[in-house]
Amino acid sequence: MFDLTGRVALITGAASGIGAATARVYAEAGADVALAWYPPDGHDVEPVREAVERAGRRVVVEAVDVTKTDDVNRLVDRAVTELGGLHIVVANAGIARKVALADLDDEAWNLVIDVDLNGAWRVFRAAIPHMQAAGYGRLIATSSVAGTVSAWPEHSHYAAAKGALVGLVKSLAVEFAADGITANAVAPGVIRTPQALDPVNSLGPEGVDAVVAKIPAGRVGVPEDIAYVYQFLASAEASYVNGQLLVVDGARSLAGLD
């Protein structure tokens, strides 16, 4: 079940957290993987490359700024040329910046929107023609509970971008369904990733630990909790799941946020 043998996947934000876990899970499921990473973030992509290779799969790695169309197109072209096609895209690159609305100027707003929303649009746009040629495509966006089922004060630009991803995948789902392409978004809850553990722009370690009491599952998520959902969405078995937002938060959003 959920075998990805013969598929080529491209993952942005692949050097850490959900992206890194997804690369490992995809490789173990049989996919070759193109990894996009952003060196200024400070995460090392080499362990992810090594994990893909240990699974016996081919891998290409490219430094990519998802706000730059040329960077995105270059990696898509490498995936097609060096790995033989492109069937799955996980638009996972994202940033969070804590800014009160009174201090949220155009530059700060536009940066988060350009990375978190426009970055997904750029990579989907570049990948779709190759998916149409293959007759198989899986577009997967990392959204968030923030902006979809809950609020995140002092992160209005982040919530706006993550909410807008849902509109993007719904429209793409209808537009390209006849080509064998699905488009879905996943809204992770609190996942123990470098972004969530950032004490400046996100919850920080103490904040992450404090959330546990509010989660019916009794724990915060780990990146693999999302990666295995992405494996399902990438598979042939998920061909009838299209245009959806899947909330993966241990039922926290159902239990209230007080």
> How many CB atoms sit inside 10 A of residue 174's CB?
12
Contact partners, residue 12, CB within 8 Å, separation at least 6: 19, 36, 64, 66, 90, 91, 92, 93, 119, 123
Rg (alpha carbons) of the chain, rounded to whole number: 17
**Rounded CA separation 26/234 (Å):** 9
**Rounded CA separation 221/214 (Å):** 13
Structure tokens at 118: 């426009």
Q: DSSP string covering 170-228, please?
A: HHHHHHHGGGTEEEEEEEE-SB-STTTT-TTTS-HHHHHHHHGGG-TTSS-B-HHHHHH
Can 26 be counted among the known catalytic residues? Answer: no
**Rounded CA separation 216/255 (Å):** 7
- Out of 38, 158, 228, 230, the active site residue is 158
**Rounded CA separation 184/170 (Å):** 7
**Rounded CA separation 105/119 (Å):** 20
Active site residues: 158
